[in-house]
């Protein structure tokens, strides 16, 4: 939870879109101790094997840059799933 606080505590922190691959948007956030990356899943597999848009997307617009606090839902999910990584 300490990392979450560092990422979103400063209201000026920005999540910048890095890239899209394999159904995930990747965002990075730069803070004093490094650069962190986390995915936003955009698709999910249904029980019948088909693929659809992720139900977790909600109504947020995924711009090139978004205030980090706005992305808290996805940062928490990445921490839980151990997909939040320090890249620098």
Q: 55 to each of 10, 45, 51, 59, 88, how far by Cα in Å?
A: 29, 11, 11, 10, 31
Its pTM stands at 0.87
Higher pLDDT, 20 or 9: 20
Is pLDDT above 90 for 85? yes
Relative to beta strand 34-41, strand 24-31 is antiparallel
Q: How confident is the model at residue 83 (pLDDT cuts 50, 70, 90)?
A: very high
pLDDT of 5? 82
* 68, two tokens: 């980090």
What pLDDT is stored for residue 19 in this prediction?
A: 97
pLDDT, mean of residues 25-36: 93
pLDDT band at 1 (very low <50, low <70, confident <90, very high): low
């Amino acid at each position: 939870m300490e990392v979450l606080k560092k990422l979103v505590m400063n209201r000026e922190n920005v999540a910048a879109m890095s890239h899209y691959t394999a159904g995930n948007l990747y965002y990075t956030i730069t803070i004093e101790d490094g650069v962190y990356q986390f995915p936003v899943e955009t698709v999910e597999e249904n029980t019948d094997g088909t693929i659809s848009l992720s139900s977790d997307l909600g109504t947020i617009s995924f711009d090139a840059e978004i205030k980090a606090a706005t992305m808290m839902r996805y940062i928490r999910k990445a921490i839980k799933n151990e997909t939040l990584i320090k890249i620098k």
